[in-house]
Structure 1
Amino acid sequence: MMPAETPTAMAARNAWLEADNARLRRLLERHDAPAELRHRLRATLGLLREIIRRSAGFRPEAAVYAAHLEDRLLSLVRMHGAIDRSGEVDLHTAFADELVTYTLHEGQRLRLSGPDILLQTRTAQTLGLAIHELAVNAVEHGAGTGSEGRIDVSWRLEDGAPDPILRILWKETGLTGVAPPSHRGFGTQVLDEMMRHNLDAETELAYDPDGFRYTLAFSMPPHVGRKAEPR
């Protein structure tokens, strides 16, 4: 087992990341990159810094930490690919594409249901992190580990003022002996604190006897997302 990263080393790494990100921002400004590109890269860099800093606190073994970090960054890359294709991300596609990466396919054990919702860039990036953590937790500890497990993901739009509320429910069933974790890891921080901070969302994590349940609700003005027009 490799030694845990010391506070001094962690501080030095974070300082290097900050300096490197600053150099990239200066380069973008100097070469007159399009405003939308600058905005998206700044948002991505901010998310990357948050992922790295939060992950380091919960994965002291260097090899394990690196593997989980790479997995999270690949998830972010997949979401960027979806954004680049159309500029918006379909909510159903965001769930389906991330879950299929972990061999969770729609069918008897996985159900996705809800209206057609299109998410804007920042919302899709942030929500993609939550979807990734839910998927990984399911295949490592939850309904994705055995033949009896089932995952139901549903979402709906509720009346709100001045904008509608998007409410998402992730529910795992078919398990036994489910109990809350003994500590709050990075995944829990993403699902709770990061969603509250970045989306101004309401969140609930519940550990039922037969499975895990997660609820996420946030306001959806046009710059966050919209209901797709009927085809």
Structure 2
Amino acid sequence: MAGLPVALGPRAALSFSLIVHELLTNACKYGALTNDYGKVSLSWGVEDSQDGDLLKIEWREQGGPPVVPPTRKGFGSKLISIGLVGTGGVDLRFDPEGLAADLHASMRQLVQA
């Protein structure tokens, strides 16, 4: 994990923890953490944008089995795709070397949530 401390409102903190929990659960069941060689990295940072500061979160898996995109969207996938308290955006990529997830949301909204 890598990133400076970031203050989130209670709803945003809950949303963040649920998303990370879901990503970690999937990494243990299907992804990089199903073997002894897999790795997961989680990093975050705040970047300037035209609309104010954005929190950017990156989840990367590598070293697991070949990645196959899911054939159906379960509750966890829907939870992740909603993003942080329903704001911002999510980019999920099922790259051959591992799942990559990029999330971003307005810090102003995350602090108030």
When normalised by structure 1's length, the TM-score is 0.46
State how 1:110-189 maps to structure 2 within 5 Å. Answer: 112-189=1-78
Structure 1 residue 163, shift from structure 2 partner = 2.2
Q: May I ask how many residue pairs the two structures share in their alignment?
A: 112
Where in structure 1 are there 5+ consecutive unaligned residues?
Answer: 1-111, 226-231
SS, match of residue 216 in structure 1: strand
Where in structure 2 are there 5+ consecutive unaligned residues?
Answer: none
4+ residue runs of structure 1 moved beyond 4 angstroms? none
Question: Of Structure 1 and Structure 2, which has the larger fraction of its residues in helix?
Answer: 1
Structure 1 residue 147, shift from structure 2 partner = 0.6
- Confirm or deny: 8 A CA contact 1:142 1:212 kept in the other structure: yes
- Confirm or deny: 8 A CA contact 1:169 1:214 kept in the other structure: yes
When normalised by structure 2's length, the TM-score is 0.90
- Confirm or deny: 8 A CA contact 2:31 2:65 kept in the other structure: no
User: Which residue does 1:203 correspond to in 2?
Assistant: 90
Question: Of Structure 1 and Structure 2, which has the larger fraction of its residues in strand?
Answer: 2
Output the aligned Cα RMSD.
Answer: 1.7
Structure of greater Rg: 1
Q: Distance in 2 between matches of 1:176 and 1:145?
A: 8
Q: Deviations over 1:34-55 (max 9, x none)?
A: xxxxxxxxxxxxxxxxxxxxxx
SS, match of residue 214 in structure 1: strand
Percent identical among aligned pairs is 32
Q: Deviations over 1:5-49 (max 9, x none)?
A: xxxxxxxxxxxxxxxxxxxxxxxxxxxxxxxxxxxxxxxxxxxxx
Q: Distance in 2 between matches of 1:175 and 1:128?
A: 23
Q: Distance in 2 between matches of 1:199 and 1:185?
A: 17
